[in-house]
Structure 1
C-alpha cells in the first residue's frame, strides 16, 4: 500500500513551477542577481559619463528602475508567463 506525500498530490507536470527543477530555480536566482548588478553598474557608469556632478547617483537610480522591470519580466519568463 503506497502512501503518496502531499507534494505528490499537488504536483502537476504541466504546471512548470520552479519547485520541480532545482537547476531551473538556481538559474533564475543567478539571472536575477546578474541582471540587477549589470543594470546598476551600467546605470552608474552611463550617469557618471553624462554628468560629472550627481550623474552617477541619478544613473544608478535609473538603472535600479530598469533592473526591477527586467527582473519582473525574467521571473514571468521562468514561470511560464504566470507571476503568481
Structure 2
C-alpha cells in the first residue's frame, strides 16, 4: 500500500506549476535575480555616464522598469504562458 500525501496529487507538470522539476524552478529564481541585478546595474552605469548630476538615479529607475518587464516575460516563458 502506498502512503501518498495530498501534495502528491498537485505535483503534476501539466497543471502549470513546476511540479517535479525543482531544477527548473531554481533556474527561474536564478534567472530572475540575474535579470534584475543586470538591469539595475546597467541602468545605473548608463545613467552615470549620461549625466553627472542625477542621471544615475534616473538610470536606475529606468533599469528597474526594464527589469520588471523582463522579469514578467521571463516568468511567462518559464511557466509556459505566452510572452507577448
TM-score scaled by structure 1?
A: 0.85
Residues 25-76 of structure 1, C-alpha deviation per residue, up to 9 Å, x if partnerless? 1101100010000000000111111111000010000000100111111111
Spell out the pairing of 1:45-60 with structure 2 (5 A cutoff): 45-60=45-60
Deviation at 1:3, TM superposition (A): 4.4
Match of 2:71 in 1: 71
Secondary structure of the structure 1 residue equivalent to 2:37: helix
Equivalent-residue separation in structure 2 for 1:12 and 1:19 (angstroms) = 5
Aligned residues: 82
Q: What are structure 2's unaligned runs of at least 5 residues?
A: none
Equivalent-residue separation in structure 1 for 2:18 and 2:65 (angstroms) = 25
Match of 1:31 in 2: 31
Match of 2:40 in 1: 40
Kept after mapping to 1: 8 A contact 2:11/2:19: no
Secondary structure of the structure 1 residue equivalent to 2:19: helix
Match of 1:6 in 2: 6
Structure 1 range deviating more: 51-60 or 19-28: 19-28
